[in-house]
Structure 1
Amino acid sequence: MARRCAVTGKGVQSGNNVSHANNKTRRRYLPNLQVASLASEALGRVVRLRLSTNAIRSIEHAGGLDAFLGKARSSELTGDVLRLKKQIDKATAKAA
């Protein structure tokens, strides 16, 4: 499983550990990924996604998963979330 956020696309970054003696060794900065269960009112089910904590805060700020994906650009989303967005759009169009 890749260390990448499903919504924001945040991934592993690299840099240096710098010691007191100024020795530099390569290291990896891992994103803070959490498995989050988010409810979708349009689909009527819970969706589990591997998200960064920043993405979880963004989704909650937007008013939930359906509202966030409704506002999000399709070009910025990864494959699984893009498929989910299309399902939500289809369900909301059918309900309206």
Structure 2
Amino acid sequence: MTRRCELTGKSVLVGNLVSHSNRKTKRRFLPNLVQVTLMSEALGQSVRLRVTTHALRSVEHRGGLDAFLLKSSDLELSQKAREIKKKIRKSGEAPAEEAAAA
């Protein structure tokens, strides 16, 4: 399983660990991934996703999983998240923000 957020697409970054003597060795910056269960109001079911803690804050700020998925681009979402987004659109119970955008 790749270390990639399913909602924002954040993944591992590579950089240098610089010692006191200024030697550089490669290191990896890992995203803070957590396994969470989020509730979708439009589908009426819970969804398990592997997301970063930053994405969790963004989901709460945008008003829930449904609103977050409808606003986000398909390019940064995982395959699983894109399928959930398609189901939400198909259900017809999209939040008021999507109706205002259209």
TM-score between the two structures when normalised by the length of structure 1:
0.90
Count of aligned positions: 93
Letter paired with 1:72: S
- Structure 1 residues 25-74: Cα deviation after superposition (integer angstroms, max 9, x where no partner): 11100001111110001111110100011111111001000111122222
1:70 matched residue in structure 2: 70
In structure 2, the gaps of 5 or more residues are 94-102
Distance 2:75 2:5 in 1: 15
Q: How much does 1:92 deviate? A: 2.3
Distance 2:74 2:28 in 1: 29
2:35 matched residue in structure 1: 35
Distance 2:53 2:15 in 1: 21
SS of 1:86's partner is: helix
SS of 2:10's partner is: coil
1:61 matched residue in structure 2: 61
2:26 matched residue in structure 1: 26
SS of 1:60's partner is: helix
In structure 1, the gaps of 5 or more residues are none
Distance 1:76 1:26 in 2: 26
The share of aligned pairs that are identical, in percent, is 56
